[in-house]
Amino acid sequence: MNEFLNVALTFPTLPYSVVLAFAVLYWMLAACGVVDDGMAHDGMDLHLGDDGLHGISGMFSRLGLGGAPVMLVIALLAFFGWTATYFVHLFLLQSLPTPVRWLAGSVTAVLALIPAVPLSVIVLRPIRRLLLRLRPVEQASLLGRVGVVASPQVSASSGYATVDDGGAGLILQVRTREGVILTRGERVVLLDYVAEHNHYLVARETDHPALSIQDSLIPGDKEIHR
């Protein structure tokens, strides 16, 4: 144990030990929900500013390490770099004179990244596929879709309509403009989504025939259907 700590906490293994310990601590905090784990995007808030962050992500992408959280990439590089440096330090560098050990150790610390990069790429391949499967599907907009009034009437203050979304169908809160009353069974077009009140502004389909969409959804808006 003493020999392990001596090698891990002395140059050239020490820099990798520090980075690896920081990465492990970060992911422990992320697992506890203390910090954002950043799984939904390629990049992390490292307090480097936008230019620094994009620079790191761009560099990793050029090395084939993109498509994963930056801290995960750093953890993998640190782990493989630490492993290579540790064993070179343990079996080759310990017995060297201090000046020579520092020189050889500096070269070893840099060269350790050479095998660390392809090994990290190999490990990240299945992780990237998993992240893509876990990524939420972008919600499609219902604007322009045709619905049918389901409540006794739809006014500027109340009303519901059903919309065929290709599945079980949706029951949406809908409203008309002031003074317009629609009755059950009338076909309507969804014109706008009012997020603060979670309802759609609708009008008769015959009044807006060019806007009605029957067979496709328009990607873009982020409505919340409740």
pLDDT at position 31 over 60? yes
Q: Amino acid letter at 203? A: A
For residue range 71-116, list pLDDT tens digits in order. 889 999 999 999 999 999 999 998 888 889 899 999 999 999 999 9
Q: Decide: residue 19, CB within 10 A, 0-12 exposed, 13-18 middle, 19+ buried.
A: middle
The residues pairing with 202 across neighbouring beta strands, listed in sequence order, are 190
- H/E element, 7: helix 2-8
With 0.85 as the threshold, say if the pTM is over it: no
Cα–Cα distance for residue pair 91/135, rounded to 1 Å = 44
For residue range 115-173, list pLDDT tens digits in order. 999 999 999 999 888 877 776 555 567 888 999 999 999 999 999 999 987 777 889 99
pLDDT for 52:
45
pLDDT for 94:
87
pLDDT for 129:
84
Return the sign of the alpha-carbon dihedral for residues 49, 52, 58, 63.
Answer: negative
pLDDT at position 216 over 50? no
pLDDT at position 46 over 90? no
CB atoms within 10 A of CB 79: 19
Cα–Cα distance for residue pair 30/72, rounded to 1 Å = 11
Q: Are strands 140-141 and 218-219 parallel, antiparallel or unpaired?
A: antiparallel
Instruction: Supply 18's token pair.
Output: 């520090």
| 168 vs 7 pLDDT, higher one | 7
Cα–Cα distance for residue pair 106/11, rounded to 1 Å = 8
